[in-house]
Amino acid sequence: MSKIKVSFSFLLTLMLVAMFSIVASAAGSNPVATPPGDPADVQAGVVTTDGANDNSYDGTVKSNANKTGTGVGTNDGSTFNQVIKSDNNMVKADGSHGTQRTHGSYMNNTNSCASCHQTHTGASKNLLFKDGEYATCTACHDGTLGFYNVFTGSDSAGTFGGTHDGNMSVHLANGTVELKAAPGGKTNGTDNWTAEFTCASCHAPHGSYSDRLLSPDPNGMGNLTLDQGGKKVTNVPVVSNQDVNTINAAGNFSFNDAGGNPITSNYVVNRITLDATNINSNPDYTAKGLVAGDIVLQLMKWNPDKKAADKVTPTPMYEIDTAPWLHGYEFDASHTNKIYWTTLQNADGSKKFDTDQLKKGEVLGNGFAAVKSTSSLVATVNALTKADIARGYVVKLDVSAFDANNVATTTVSSLWASKKADGTNNPGYVSGRGAAMSAFCSACHTDYLATSSKQTATNQGEGTFDHAYRHTTTSDSYTCVRCHYAHGTDVTVMRDARGKKLSEIIADPNYFSTVTDSTARATLANDYMIDKNPSSALKRYTNMAVCWGCHTSSHSEGTRNTDTFQYNPTANESNDRNGIEFDY
């Protein structure tokens, strides 16, 4: 039978403080001081069986031909090859065998589907072998695989585990709250906001454009227009064969809408017939097998703040937009016609280019669609005049190469730190990645994507505040995950202003230098790291240490000259313990 390390009841009881403060934060309510008591098995963090709630394979009662779910009750990694059903499939060009990936990049002979689904005997909708998305995900990600255990501390995502005395707060991904519970979200709850918040609200189990399988369409924002806080662009003009260099001189293209009204667009779709020169304007063209003569529909965005190579000379220009296009659809009220998220059409709408064209030879890339010169779609593509394009979210992290078991590590500090603590370059830092993470988080926390020192209004009714001043989150330097964990937090994973976490403080002789007993040091360190303001904030740093860690060197002229301010990178009882370390 399956064993989940932390049960629904554990999260529901232990995390009442987080639930209450999530729901009540907009109203300014204070969180519950302490969680209620729990049964002994829940306090231990282990439920002995959840067999009544799933259809896992046990060889006797609930057998399944694919043995979906076998081995998930052993949480020490020893059943790794039993759980991942893609193990030992032929995957290499030389005919040798190996392990296919469970989530995405499926081979044509894949067996990975059997890791999560049962064709005729699923325990829940979507044929999942356990009762619900949370139970299905945690069946393996509770230590069963020996890695990616969401109930243990992680420097990148935090933890769903936690301790009673450790200020635990988590993203309640077990379906017990709706998306509208997100602080800074749409509390009145309509459309996607009424959906249950589960693991799949943030992650795409079948593959993603982002690292860590982050969803390309969180909270459905990819198909909401820019003025609604989403990423969809509408009424985008299609222009023909504009060189990606000369198009910049034209500025914004103006065109008339269906009613004859002039519209100026910050986006254009550049219809390019590839030749020997422009085929090299985007390496993704050749990577997708396109050659001279093929036709590309490339989305481009006007950048008024673009600088020349000298980083000084203003050179506003159109730039290639690499956000992937989303190709979903919905039915109209009569349930007879499909309304596509992404559609290109000619002036009278008689010729359309949409998801139904996929089977006719459409080539998709990062921010473009293309057809081969021999395609029957050439005439349709050449007649297109405007476009509505839903775009996906892409979040790239500093992730190591996969090892033999498809395991990689993440250095999350690369999202905000271009330098390490020793002053050397952080090799994983790429400009813009931190801001992309903030944009992902703000798909639900819509109020919190802001620029400092500017009073912001509610984003088209999506958020909870009318007006407020907010800390910057649109900069790489202040990305959301610099201050917050994605999964959850507790005393074991939080840090102080020097970036030290509990285990490091216990081992560091500069902390509590007069105490040598290991038990006593652990007690003192735990007390030192306890957050005095427990909440649902998923804080990466205890108390307000994140403020002090940054502001010892930023806007700190008011404290540097006082008698009480001391800065010394070597911590001890008489010197200030300041300065966030980036190299973790």
Tell me how far apart the alpha carbons of residues 16 and 238 are, in angstroms, rounded to a whole number: 52
pLDDT at 220: 93
CA 149 to each of CA 21, 72, 396: distance values in angstroms, whole numbers, following the listed order: 26, 13, 21
Burial 1-36 (b: 16+ CB within 10 A, else e): ebbbbbbbebbbbbbebbbbbbbbbbeeeebeeebe
Nearest of 148, 271, 166, 248 to residue 205 by alpha carbon:
148
What is the chain's alpha carbon radius of gyration, rounded to the nearest angstrom?
26
Tell me how far apart the alpha carbons of residues 31 and 535 are, in angstroms, rounded to a whole number: 6
pLDDT at 201: 96
Per-10-residue mean pLDDT, the chain, length 584: 38 37 31 35 46 68 79 84 83 85 89 90 88 90 89 89 82 90 82 91 95 95 85 88 55 49 72 88 91 94 78 80 91 87 88 75 88 91 92 94 82 85 80 92 88 63 69 88 93 88 90 90 92 88 85 60 50 45 42
C-beta pairs of 153-157 under 8 Å, 24+ apart in sequence: 153/490, 153/492, 153/493, 154/485, 154/487, 154/493, 155/410, 155/412, 155/493, 155/584, 156/397, 156/410, 156/411, 156/412, 156/486, 157/212, 157/410, 157/412, 157/485, 157/486, 157/487
Domain edges within the chain: 8-221, 232-389, 495-530+552-584
pLDDT at 59: 63
Tell me how far apart the alpha carbons of residues 279 and 400 are, in angstroms, rounded to a whole number: 31
Could you tell me the two tokens for 111? 């067996």
Number of Cβ within a 10 Å radius of residue 405 = 15
Could you tell me where the beta strands, DSSP code E, fall in 188-315?
Answer: 196-198, 233-240, 253-256, 262-265, 267-273, 295-303
